[in-house]
Amino acid sequence: MTASGPSFEIRTPEGEDRERRVCGQCGFIDYVNPKIVAGAVVADDLGRILICRRAIAPRTGFWTLPAGYMEEGESVEAAARREAREEACADIELDALLGVYSIPRISQVQIFFRARLKSEIAPGPESQEVRLCAFEDIPRATLAFPSVHWALDDWMAARGQPAPVPVMRTQNPGDQPY
């Protein structure tokens, strides 16, 4: 529509108590909300875990679990199922809430489920490669994010339990930087 992008300035809008990004051209106030990531630890009937090698930044080439940003109007569960479909062409069945991970440094709340694989797998556009991997063979040294470790650990701790107790984790300032 126009060649130029928005030109934001940082100021406190009238009636507010903190600074926001406000566009100097059109006056739009860009409320930045924390984002919700939904994902799943997906196991097949042999107990192998679905992992995906990232084809996109950040952490291209590193391994992750199927997970991504929730879209408007979606439930958390629908978002987790959609991400498995998009990243690994996987049809999954959610079983239980596994963990809620709060990562203030990057303004994210990540919500992971335990799930069962119900289909074949194949790399989607955001994955270089997808793999079913025994828990002890997961390439821990080349995982993309700390929360991938958390979800895997929480899955292992709940293995065999029909109703796992979901774990609340919050990143502390002294932790491994995200």
**Residues in touch with a second copy (CB under 8 A):** 1-7, 9, 18, 22-28, 30, 32-36, 69-78, 96-97, 100, 102, 104-105, 107, 109, 111, 163, 165-166, 168, 170-171
Name the 3-class secondary structure at 132: strand
Give me the least distance between CB of 176 and a second copy, in Å please.
16
Q: Compute the distance between CA of residue 98 and CA of residue 151 in angstroms, rounded to an integer.
A: 7
d(CA 78, CA 71): 10
CB closer to a second copy, 95 vs 138:
95
Phi, psi at 33, each rounded to 5°: -105, 150
In whole angstroms, how close is the CB of 86 to a second copy at the nearest point? 10
Q: Residue 132 Cβ, how far from a second copy at the closest point, in Å?
A: 26
Residue 104: helix, strand or coil by DSSP? helix
> Which DSSP string do the residues of 63-81 spell out, in sequence order?
EE-SEEEPPTT--HHHHHH
Residue length of the chain: 178
Q: How far is the CB of 110 from a second copy (least distance, A)?
A: 11
